[in-house]
Amino acid sequence: MNVKNTALKKQGERRNGRNVDVLTIYFYPNKNYAIARAAMAEEIKIYDLIIIGGGPAGITAGIYAARAGLKTLLITKNFGGQINLKAVEIENYPGFEKISGLEFIQKLEHHLKKFAIEIIYNIVEKVKKENDIFIIFTEDKKQFQSKTLIIASGAEPRSLGVKGEKEFIGKGVSYCVTCDGPLFKDKTVAIIGGGNAGFEAALALAKWAKKIYILETLKTIQADKVNINQFEKLGAKGEIITNVEIKEIKGSNFVDSLVYQKRDTEEIKTLFVEGIFIEIGSIPATQFVKDLVEFNEKNEIKVNPKSGETSIAGLFAAGDVDDMPYKQIVIAAGEGAKAALSAAKYLKTLNPKS
């Protein structure tokens, strides 16, 4: 047998009166060639589509893929993505005047599970493409294969990168008001970040904390007017400090202070707080494809805006991982739908008679 320099070789054969996909796998342990053959497609399943991510983009992609009749697998560590960290109600998604993030995701998940789609709760560590097949490696060392792939893995909270931050995670430093807010009842807290996320976190904390500071690095606040107005209603309980640079987080066993510098006067000041919530944006969760697709300067995956396709044929991205502007729930859902429809169209080019 002629052994080729490849790990996978897929071909069609006719067996027992029907066409099946046969996958030949070549293993090279210790440079001594040994060949193992997987005889039937049922033994090595190749999906039409694998979706990575369980937020609005991934869930919507799953719904559209199932409706298109694609053999689909969705891999996610949980459903909800960043919405699980959202502290206040969602008020800008059509059809819902006001709905909590938890209830919203539960509705999406329930809708998805109405369809014939496989779901695996896991974390993807790496993706590669061999012989037009995508191979997905998960944290528990399993492998899954697919003809097309949608990356909808969302984003992760961005860290400050200052002294004391890592040391006090779980000891006063948090990135999730929904998770940790109740722990700061009757305490003084600081929120780093003057965008919508920061103000929404502050409004959620208002039911517990006795004093809330919002610190913003820019001279002006970037949040929507409606959020600013709501925060101002807190009166003396809330205070905004702008044009600062965070220098250090201090404490002994737990956080007890925050050191910052005023940019205009260069004065160093200390704010005595018992909790610090960091709300300065997020970083796309794209580490597992870092050597596969093209990225922009923000580490977002570059996509064709018409299709959601990346620099790799058959690989699509949707939601907060891609380089499209306006990171909104409704936009992520729309991008998920677009990516699934584009994947279905791409699959027809692989098998024009289908």
pLDDT digits (tens, 9 = 90+) for 115-167: 999 999 999 999 999 999 999 999 999 999 999 999 999 998 889 999 999 99
**Beta-bridge partner residues of 35:** 26
Which residues participate in catalysis according to the annotation? 176, 179-180
* Residue range 50-97, pLDDT digits in tens: 999 999 999 999 999 999 999 999 999 999 988 876 656 788 899 999
Whole-angstrom distance, CA of residue 276 vs CA of residue 170: 10
Cα–Cα distance, 278 to 175 (Å, whole number): 5
The answer to whether the CB of 196 falls within 8 A of the CB of 321 is: no
H/E segment holding residue 177: helix 177-180
User: How many Cβ atoms sit within 10 Å of the Cβ of residue 275?
Assistant: 26
- 39 pLDDT higher than 90: no
Query: Given this model, what pLDDT does residue 178 score?
Result: 80
pLDDT at residue 351, rounded to an integer: 76
Which 8-state DSSP code applies to residue 200?
H
Q: In the structure, what pLDDT confidence band is assigned to residue 35 with cuts at 50, 70 and 90?
A: very low
Looking at the chain, the domain(s) classified CATH 3.50.50.60 span 47-157+282-350, 166-278
- Decide which of 3.40.50.300, 3.30.160.100, 3.30.300.10, 3.50.50.60 is the CATH code for 166-278: 3.50.50.60
Task: Name which of 43-52, 250-259, 295-304 the model is least confident about.
Answer: 43-52
Which numeric CATH code is attached to 47-157+282-350?
3.50.50.60
Q: What is the pLDDT of residue 354?
A: 56
281 — pLDDT class (breaks 50, 70, 90): confident
Contact yes or no for 80/55 (Cβ under 8 A): yes
Residue 19 pLDDT > 90 = no
Q: pLDDT class for 225, splitting at 50, 70, 90?
A: very high
pLDDT for the residue numbered 23: 52
For the segment 264-277, what is each residue's pLDDT rounded down to a tens digit? 999 999 999 999 99
d(CA 147, CA 143): 14
